[in-house]
Structure 1
């Protein structure tokens, strides 16, 4: 029969449960913007043609930013008929077309310029930016490492507390009998991680007579949170 570790402490192997947390503030690595191109016409073919032309203009502009544009994805496309509000029969008054793209950039200087140039395009809306870290960012590992170090430090402090308790007991002529478990507050419950706040700057563009200056965008620092629950066994203390 194979021995299995007990989920609680024993006099010979006291159980120590501690929690370590870390919260770091770091600069963002990427920014995302949503680009929505729209078109409207009384004829389906005309609306679709206008939408295709404006969409091509937006994509061409985005792709001119080369390596600064890390990712470009199309989210949704729609061409919706709008019916007349009065009358007994279903009559189409106009067609509304829309296509949305999400662009991820790693050059924040280029981001300000691109946002302005996109906003100048006809019937083009720009939302964002949303600042973020990459999933494999070193900041996540740094936070986890710091949380582990904090958990180990707490374990050492509890071990020292046991020694002080022994000294207090001896001072009044008593002795501690056994140590079964030490549990840190919150060691068995993980705290939720707060999502970073998002900022948006929507707007509709219109043809401009002269180029508008690039937007001055200040990157929003990101909060990286990590927490670990550590469960350790101690050598039997001298009580």
Structure 2
């Protein structure tokens, strides 16, 4: 069903996250749910907001801007841009989002820095890492990560917070955990290389592999289907 009862689905997702944190021996406040709301109508986001959700992840800029306009009365929503970010889209993202999870080039980071309005807090940024080594997937390679991070950390209007990955799908828990463990190692390397940076974020895990991600230290888990149900076909 696409129109599941949203408050119940959100509560179930939170319980699932709490169970995963318990299994990993981590406190319940060690990770948060980011509601992946791309392709969902603004009214569904409003329902999720009424049920207590505040952080929403969007991938398509114009769709996101339309929803931001429709939900402008909800002034404590935290907007995360989680999709591929092209250079010609950076201005609107810099102006209207709180987080960007998908920075993988210094050019994009510099544009976000230059275009962030002076009256806003620095833009929280995660570097997307291609932990699976897939040719078609975005992301900086693990070997090039520290160099990119050092450059991004010098920018005044962005705040380097951590790393993000979208690994290739895997069928077993062990196979799911391997790329998440690699991403955790990437964050640990950055924390050693940049000890003064606020590197506290592992953005990893989705509806199909939440438990594996939490076991490896995820701090933000991106859930769409588990909260909003299956997207309609087409």
Q: TM-score by structure 1 length?
A: 0.21
* Structure having the larger proportion of residues in strand: 1
Q: TM-score by structure 2 length?
A: 0.21
* Structure having the larger proportion of residues in helix: 2
